[in-house]
Amino acid sequence: MVKITDVARHAGVAPSTVSYALSGKRPISAATRRRVEESIRALGYRPPLGLGGAGRRGSNVLALVTPLRAGVPAPAAMEYALAAVTAARGHDHDVLLVVREEGEEALRQVVESTPADALIVTGGQARDARAPLLSLLRRHGRPSVLVGSPADPTGLTCVDLDHGAAGELCVEHLVGLGHRVVALVGAPPEAYLRGTGAAQRMVRGFTATADRHGLSSAVRPCPASPAAARAVAERLLRERPALTGVVVHNEAVVEPLIEAFEALGLRVPADLSLIAVRPPGPATTSRSPVTSVDVPAAEAGAGAVDLLMRKLNGAHVPETTLLPPRLTFRTTTGPRATP
Amino acid sequence: MVKITDVARHAGVAPSTVSYALSGKRPISAATRRRVEESIRALGYRPPLGLGGAGRRGSNVLALVTPLRAGVPAPAAMEYALAAVTAARGHDHDVLLVVREEGEEALRQVVESTPADALIVTGGQARDARAPLLSLLRRHGRPSVLVGSPADPTGLTCVDLDHGAAGELCVEHLVGLGHRVVALVGAPPEAYLRGTGAAQRMVRGFTATADRHGLSSAVRPCPASPAAARAVAERLLRERPALTGVVVHNEAVVEPLIEAFEALGLRVPADLSLIAVRPPGPATTSRSPVTSVDVPAAEAGAGAVDLLMRKLNGAHVPETTLLPPRLTFRTTTGPRATP
DNA sequence: TTGAAAGCGCTAACAC
DNA sequence: GTGTTAGCGCTTTCAA
């Protein structure tokens, strides 16, 4: 394996000069730089990929950290990874997939000792488990980007779907189809206890747009279980018999909710239109073709890498980057049946 | 950041002792081990994740190397990655996604300088570009596993779908549906010029099984273009007007072939049954529900990691591991129409 | 603008 | 079974 000293000898300069030529951490005369570059090419030297090593250095590796619940990596994480890898390639970086159980200790280790230049952290589902990680990221020196919307983004850099705009988009879609009575089945109640965040922005976008169009609207938090979905569906229909449009902002209950409504005698989309807002993943392309606004994995992954690169270059980046929603019209929404 | 010398001091032992306690590369007395472990806990020392570093050490990182054509990571690679990450987690390893353009130089660098403990190499599509890489792997010290079937697996460790069994399975499926005249539309002609390999094994399995059942069978290589697909379809029908069962062993022409047959007036599956044998990926779960035998990504990824771990532990592993095929019955096969 | 030399944190020979 | 010590390849002082 050809090393930096080989290059130095070949170019007739000191090893440190090669090092600096490589890192750009101090000015090098054009002539020397050229000679060094030539030797590098001649010998085929390649800066050791992804090491941490002795003299802490750029490793050209981005860590994609995914906390997870059960031990099984979420497909959504892979969508981000795909996008991140593609984007990272363009900046001559590789991606280290770091998958860890949720919980402070395991993640602390990663954040502190990974050799990566920078970190992308995708959303841990359990909000409580995520809090310590966030404070870690805030404190820590290494550039990082969070995919998702924490309750308090201060001091962090975040990329996420613009949930407010998503709420608006969903309502506009329903309005366009003639619906006049709509409901939002939202995140579990806990999500609303915190400050700002995806859940709240969604509610605001949804409600404001419904009001603007003079719709009758309702918002119902919903725990992530089929039983809860059934309960919500029943109550909703009892209280709003004229309901024909539903937005589901809770990945776990999309299917259960559809089943619940159908069990209650409504056909989807003939009697009831339904839109899901959810993370990317195979579900997105799966058999059940639900009209949906998906968190745009490609944009999120690419955006995260982009922000990271800018941070690595010392640039200032916005605290929160919101990605515009896109609605994919599939088979669960349709025009309101004329009574 | 707390380092190994801190632990050593705190435990009252030499740094090397801590190192050895960590790596298990030499016996440590129970007492010392306990003290070291206590100090580690007390100080919160964490072995630097995934470094390559000075004194070449276990990095707890597996590199998943994916050569690619266009610069866009193949979804199939992500399927492998998902499986590999899951499996690697079980062995306390992370996965470094290394995506490079095909071609000797770029890959050589990776193989030689990546800090990973071991390598998983997924199939480069261009067989010519892959050859130099293979010889590199053979020579190189680091344990590696190739996902796919090279022409000559000598000296390598490979995991792949058992294409012979897949051919057999496809024919059995068609026979079960009553088909008597079948064809295999195979890989591009170049693939057959080499020695053994996926293409050949498929042909053998297909032909042998067809013969055993007394079917009329034909094998047609097919370049990877829609035009070629149309040409093959036409010729096939001209030469075998009674053809009702087709196995496609060429990812690129599955859809074109279906279209070609339909353009020739055959309905799928009413008049013609078609099975695809292909790599995993979104295509697998996509809108077009083609009956297929897919390379099992999960098994391949997990199997590769498993083999790697055994190699890392000094165990001897078989040169080639063939994964049993599984056929997913979807909408492109059906019973032969009774004339 | 560059070299020489002193580490970086860790591992692996080599002692005892 | 353990401590000593010499590196590993690279970065970063410090001097020039």
Query: Model confidence over A150-201: pLDDT tens digits?
Result: 877 888 899 999 999 999 999 999 999 999 999 999 988 877 766 558 889 9
Using alpha carbons, list the distances in angstroms from residue A186 to A128, A130, A140, A228.
19, 20, 33, 12
- Judged by CB atoms closer than 8 Å, whether chains meet at A50 and B50 is answered as yes
pLDDT confidence of residue B135: 78
pLDDT confidence of residue B153: 83
Whether B114 and A50 have beta carbons less than 8 Å apart is answered as: yes
> How many angstroms is C1' of C1 away from CA of A32?
9
Using alpha carbons, list the distances in angstroms from residue B62 to A48, B121, B144, B306, B308.
16, 11, 10, 11, 9
pLDDT confidence of residue B52: 42
Which position has the token pair 């995806």?
Answer: A198
**Banded model confidence at residue A138, pLDDT cuts 50, 70, 90:** confident
pLDDT confidence of residue A115: 67
Q: Which residue in B333, B338, B326 sits closest to B294, CA to CA?
A: B326
User: In three state form, how does the secondary structure of A56-101 look?
Assistant: CCCCCEEEEEEEECCCCCCHHHHHHHHHHHHHHHHCCCEEEEEEEE
pLDDT confidence of residue A338: 73
> How many angstroms is C1' of C13 away from CA of B26?
13
pLDDT confidence of residue A15: 92
pLDDT at A52 over 70: no
**% residues pLDDT > 70 (chain B):** 84
Query: Distance (Å, rounded) from C-alpha B39 to C-alpha B30?
Result: 14
Cβ-nearest to B78 among A50, A78, A99: A78
Higher pLDDT pick, B313 / B248: B248
CB-strand contact A40/D, under 7 Å: no
In angstroms, how far is CA B192 from the centroid of its own chain? Answer: 20
Task: Answer whether the bond into residue B280 is a cis peptide, omega within 30°.
Answer: no
Query: Model confidence over A283-314: pLDDT tens digits?
Result: 555 456 899 999 898 899 999 999 998 887 77
pLDDT confidence of residue B59: 67
pLDDT at B56 over 50: no
Question: Measured between CA atoms, how close is B100 to chain A, in angstroms?
Answer: 8
Strongest mean pLDDT among A242-256, B102-116, B144-158: A242-256
For chain A, strand residue ranges (E) read 61-68, 94-101, 118-122, 144-147, 158-161, 181-185, 216-220, 245-248, 273-278, 292-294, 320-323, 327-328
Query: Distance (Å, rounded) from C-alpha A301 to C-alpha A298?
Result: 5
Residue from B45, B86, B107, B113 to probe the interface with A (highest A Cβ count within 10 Å): B113
pLDDT at A68 over 60: yes
The neighbouring-strand residues paired with A122 are A147
CB-strand contact B53/C, under 7 Å: yes
pLDDT at A66 over 70: yes
The residue of chain B nearest to residue A46, with distances taken between CA atoms, is: B109
Structure tokens at B332: 């492109």
Query: Model confidence over A266-282: pLDDT tens digits?
Result: 999 999 999 999 888 76
pLDDT confidence of residue B124: 60
Average pLDDT over chain A reads 85
Higher pLDDT pick, B282 / A218: A218
Question: Measured between CA atoms, how close is A86 to chain B, in angstroms?
Answer: 6
- Judged by CB atoms closer than 8 Å, whether chains meet at B78 and A81 is answered as yes
Query: Distance (Å, rounded) from C-alpha A50 to C-alpha A53?
Result: 9
**Helix/strand number for chain A, H first, E second:** 13, 12
Whether B18 and B3 have beta carbons less than 8 Å apart is answered as: no
- Lowest model confidence (mean pLDDT) among A41-55, A173-187, B210-224: A41-55
Query: Model confidence over A307-326: pLDDT tens digits?
Result: 998 887 778 899 999 999 99
Q: Which nucleotides of C are covered by protein (CB under 7 A)?
A: 1-5, 7-13
pLDDT at A89 over 80: yes
pLDDT at B237 over 90: yes
State mean pLDDT over A117-136: 71
Q: At what angle do helices B30-43 and B4-11 cross, to 10 degrees?
A: 120
Query: Model confidence over B88-113: pLDDT tens digits?
Result: 888 878 888 888 776 656 666 667 66
Query: Model confidence over A192-233: pLDDT tens digits?
Result: 766 558 889 999 999 999 999 999 999 999 998 999 999 999
pLDDT confidence of residue B54: 35
Cβ-nearest to B94 among A1, A81, A96: A96
pLDDT at A57 over 50: no
pTM of the model: 0.81
Residues in chain B: 339
